[in-house]
Amino acid sequence: MSFRELRVPGAFEFTPRQFGDDRGVFFEWHKDSAFTAAVGHPLELLQANCSVSAAGVLRGIHVTVDPPGQAKYVTCTRGAFLDVVVDLRKDSPTYGTWDSVLIDDVDRRAVYLPVGLGHAILSLEDHSTVMYLCSLEYTPGADRDIHPLDPDLAIDWPTHGRDGTPLTYQLSDKDAAAPAFEDWA
């Protein structure tokens, strides 16, 4: 498994080695020893989530306030997503910085987000499926949102799906009503 730190310190992309033959493919999408070597600590797992989305579904930007905070380890098992990480740690020198990783069923990358980072995903294909390992159970009172299309963040969202079809962004009512980045502060 290889890894690289993203432009947002503490966030990492993990790319597994895949072993394929005429029967299919095998890979380790999370391995504690490799994860700990890269990040410097193990991932405490308290909840696992799965989300299936149509092309154009845009989820986020979501964050769990610290404390208690929630770290996530995210991968795509089917289809493709643009996974976006936003630094929302007010004391961070990269506050407001974002980075993105294409997670899909080809390269099978995973993204790690430590506590304090915002997270959003855009589905690039119908039936795209994402899996999350979370360090904290869902805590509604600690969840916060930022509008994913906020011009102050200027996230470069794709306008076309994996097959080249134009995307129409679909946000939940909650995400569409989310406050601007400037209101996060």
Two tokens, residue 60: 């986020």
Catalytic entry in 62, 73, 119, 147: 62
28 three-state secondary structure: coil
Whole-angstrom distance, CA of residue 14 vs CA of residue 35: 8
Residue pointed to by tokens 């790319």: 15
What's the DSSP call for residue 12? E
Two tokens, residue 89: 């740690």
Residue 62 bears catalytic tag: yes
In the beta sheet, which residues pair with residue 118? 86
Catalytic entry in 73, 112, 119, 132: 132
3-state class percentages of the chain: helix first, strand second, coil last, to nearest 5: 10, 40, 50
Active site residues: 62, 132
